[in-house]
Structure 1
């Protein structure tokens, strides 16, 4: 006696998750036999399979541009182009977009924005980059500077004091942690250099320490060494010329004296 004398309920529609396919297909095979579907024409069995899987199956069939004959004939060989996109593995940490170096005025007010920072990452996530900014733990509790994440892959560095003194501290190093939201999450700590300078009322820098002025003038360490060597050479030549002139003058005096005595 066939079991199709009983009312057999088909399995729930397919979830379209790869890991659910073996279990779902096993359930459908049991339904196919228990309901007597396996004795029917191939066209009926294929239609029952498509109907049971759910409406999303219809959309997939439409995207494949199958004819009715191909969809209802399981023996028909179907060839369709498949495009595979290789996703970039998130194996790089975001870093500063450039080597930031800025200054703060001695007469600065609290909550003034002195620098906007951004980040870069060689990874290419499918949904685009999303960076998160924050101060490192050792700087978060200090009352010198704060950070505001703008939620647009940039952040602002703000003052937390009403004044700064270059005599007390001329350079601050602020550690900034940048993280991404990909899996596995990557992060890095980057250092922002802030120099204390005297400014006018409009906030334009007037005077900074020698190191800061050198950096803003665009002189590299190599250029400074070259200039120093030139100064040393010039000083040495000056001393040699001076010493040589004195010796020549002394020689002239001696020769004149000898000539006078001989006469």
Structure 2
């Protein structure tokens, strides 16, 4: 059922987005009732208005708490990922430094040996061997993946976004509604969830959705390389930013609701 048609009495007071939020929060009936009570100064009406005010305020505070709780969970997870990524980065940096030093040392040794050895055949062999070994060490420094680590996250909020499915109820019903309702995106044509997933496909997986479908990032965890960890941390931060943006929508609702509750 279209919540806007059901709540058409609210159209003159609330914006389209705020009516949808009232519907999602289950406050549309209370707001309608308090509109009808305006001007009624009887004791029973004043008590009822106070009761409704308390319910509205309590519900909005709970919605804000949901947002803060989800953002805090994502913040902790991002910190956990960053710590592991930093550990792997340090190992890779140390490994590369050792390989560079080894390559330089081999090159220097080959040059010195070449200068000391007068036999051309031996000299050439030493030069070739030194070049091959030095090149081999240089090749290892170009390894794009480096060290790996086991990293698990069975409670994976990113997976819910990627699959656009919250059947495990990892998000509160209100947050999931806000993320999946098209009206709350900038263009109103696609949901915040869909837009976020599209950005991930374009920028994290080089426009290859199938690559994302098989990524460890959206599983329960497994073998991670440093780049995977950095990608996961970035995606967590992006999801956190989207969830925090819902705060602004609630603030707009509070401003309009206050006019009705006065």
Greater share of helix residues, 1 or 2?
2
Higher RCO structure, 1 or 2 (CA under 8 Å, sep 6+): 2
What TM-score do you get using the length of structure 2 for normalisation? Answer: 0.22
**Could you say which structure has the larger radius of gyration?**
1
Greater share of strand residues, 1 or 2?
1
What TM-score do you get using the length of structure 1 for normalisation? Answer: 0.22
